Amino acid sequence: MQTVKLLDGTSLPVLGLGTWSYGGGNTPDYSRDAESIATMRTIIGMGYTHLDTAESYGKNHCEEIVGQAIKAFDRSDIFITTKVAPEHLRALDVIKAAEGSLRRLDVDAIDLYLIHWPNKDIPLNETFAGLNKLLGDGRVKRVGLSNFSVEQMRESMRLCDGPIITNQVKYNLLHREPENNGVLDFCQQEGIVLTAYSPLKSDVMDHPVVKRIAAAHNATPAQVAIQWLVRQPLVITIPKSSDIDHAKENLGALDVALTEAEVAELDAISG
C-alpha cells in the first residue's frame, strides 16, 4: 500500500481503518464481539495495518475488540493509534488513561497516542507533562493531536519532547476547514501528517460531480473521495468500516488515477 513518511522516519499507510463502529459506538455492546473480531481480522488481512481507535469508542470496549483482533497477527506488523479523552488531560489522568488503553489493547506500547480534543480548562503544559513521561518510559512511541488549531499545534510542538506526528481532523471534499483555517498548509510545511476523518459522508458521495467522475473511471464515489484526499502530500485517511465489502471498495481507491482536470473540478466543489 502507498505510504507516507512520519517525522520519525516510520512509514504509515495512506489508508487506515477507523474503528468507531466496533464495540458499540457511543455505548458498549458486547453482543457481536466474535463477529466484530472476525471482521476486523479479515480487513487487517487485506492490508489495513493502521488501526485507529480511542478510549471513548464504545466506552472503552472498542479498544478491547482491537486488542483481540490483532492477536492473529505479528504485533510489529500492526500500527495502533488511540486517543485520550478530553476529560483525562491532567498529567496523572493522561498516564492512567494510557495505562487503561494499554491494558485493553493488551500491548506493551501504543504506536501513536493522540489528544482526542483540546480542553480549554486544562492547560496543554499539564497534558504534556503526562505525555512526555509516557514517551520517556516507552509506553507511548509517538504523540499526535486531533481537532487542534494551528496555534494549539504550535504550542504542542513547543511542549512535546518528541515530534508531533499528526493532527487528525475532519476533512473531505465538502468539508474544507483544514484548508481554510491553515491547518493543512501548516502540517505540510512542518512535515506533520494530516489524518482526515469522516471522508465519506453521504453528501460527498451523492454529489453529482463526484458521481460523474466516478462513472468515468468505472469507480465508486467513495473511491474518488478517498483518492482526492490521499493524492495530497502528507494526507492520509481512516474511513470507518465494519463491512468487508466496503473495506475492499475503499482499498480500490488507491488505483483510481484522477486527471488534473478532474482534480480541479473536485477542488472547486467545496461545501
Which are the catalytic amino acids?
57
User: From the CB of residue 260, how many other CB atoms can be counted at a distance below 10 Å?
Assistant: 7
Specify the residue for cell string 509506553.
139
Angle CA(24)–CA(104)–CA(16) in degrees, nearest 5? 65
CA distance 248 to 256: 14
DSSP class of residue 140 equals B
Residue 119 CA neighbour count, 13 Å, CB half: 18
β-sheet bridge partners, residue 211:
none
Using CA of residue 238, residue 243, residue 245, residue 246, what is the dihedral sign? negative
β-sheet bridge partners, residue 52:
18, 81
DSSP class of residue 55 equals T
CA distance 141 to 247: 27
29-34 contact pairs (CB < 8 A, 24+): 29/58, 29/61, 30/61, 33/65, 33/68
DSSP class of residue 76 equals G
Largest interatomic CA distance in the chain: 54
Q: Are 174 and 204 in contact (CB under 8 A)?
A: yes
